[in-house]
Amino acid sequence: MPQRLGGRAASHVAGPGMARLALPKHLSGQVQAAVECLRSGGVVAFPTDTVYGLGVDFLSRQAVLRVLEMKGRPEHLGLPLLLAKVEALEEVAAELSEGAWRLARAFWPGALTLVVRRVPHIPDIITGGRDTVAVRVPGHPVPRALARGLGRPITGTSANRSGQPPARTAEEVRGQLGAWVDLVLTGGPVPGGRESTIVDLTGPEPRLLRAGAIPLEDVLTAHDGHPGRVRPRRVSV
């Protein structure tokens, strides 16, 4: 059962193969409770393909402010968004090139974060006041199920105080964030490992913002229209 506070440990395969991993039955009840928590403006901690994450409804300003406060994260940094599926990209991006779609189809669900021009309804508090937003479809069924159940993206920042190690278990979430989190999904330890690769797609060419689990060479190859040369890689993220 999910645990209220205060009141697949396996290798990750980048790319579409991860989409076959369905939500385990023993987590369905926890996810349903977490979706209700999100709808009421709550903060949920959940396992991902990297570390435990903090999710809220991105349209709830109060909930987003709570996440920033509990992490000690400055507002100007904004927060990334997690999507339920590849097709949801057009719901958050104002303009998308063919290269952007190639990257999404090649590596999502997986450890690639894309920075794209945002649509007008995405709040400034999510983007840090910029006209861009960072998004990905995670390679773990829980955050995808949360976004699908809510009907829109959720935030996907790591569940830890800024400057502290990311949490890999529900117990570590409680140790760092305590009663600030409304609901913790107990999905077991997460893989940890390398963070997602972050690529800015707002210019004429992809620009690497953070090296991560997916090599830049593979990103550039897929972006330029040669997906057959890019093989999904088994990486620890």
Q: 12-224 adopts what CATH topology?
A: DHBP synthase (3.90.870)
Considering 2-16, 31-45, 221-235, the range whose residues carry the highest mean pLDDT is: 31-45
Model confidence at 234: pLDDT above 50: no
Tell me the three state secondary structure of residue 115: strand
CB-facing half-sphere around the CA of 199: CA atoms within 13 A:
25
Identify the sign of the CA torsion 55, 57, 59, 65: negative
Tell me the three state secondary structure of residue 53: strand
CB-facing half-sphere around the CA of 222: CA atoms within 13 A:
22
Model confidence at 143: pLDDT above 90: yes
Contact 232, 222 (CB under 8 A): no
Looking at residue 19, its pLDDT comes to 45
Looking at residue 12, its pLDDT comes to 33
Looking at residue 24, its pLDDT comes to 83
Which of these ranges, 26-35, 65-74, 177-186, 227-236, has the smallest mean pLDDT?
227-236
Looking at residue 109, its pLDDT comes to 96
Structural domain boundaries of the chain?
Answer: 12-224
Model confidence at 172: pLDDT above 50: yes
- Give me 161's structure tokens: 């105080």
pTM score, whole prediction: 0.86
* Distance linking the first and last C-alpha atoms of the chain: 26
Task: Measure Cα distances from 19 to 12, 15, 16, 147, 186 in Å.
Answer: 11, 8, 5, 14, 21
Amino acid occupying residue 184: V
pLDDT-derived band of residue 60, with 50, 70 and 90 as boundaries? very high
The rounded mean pLDDT for the chain is 87
Amino acid occupying residue 87: E
- Give me 61's structure tokens: 């300003």
CA 201 to chain centre: 17
Which of these ranges, 10-14, 130-134, 166-170, 216-220, has the smallest mean pLDDT?
10-14
Contact 68, 61 (CB under 8 A): no
- Give me 66's structure tokens: 């709570």
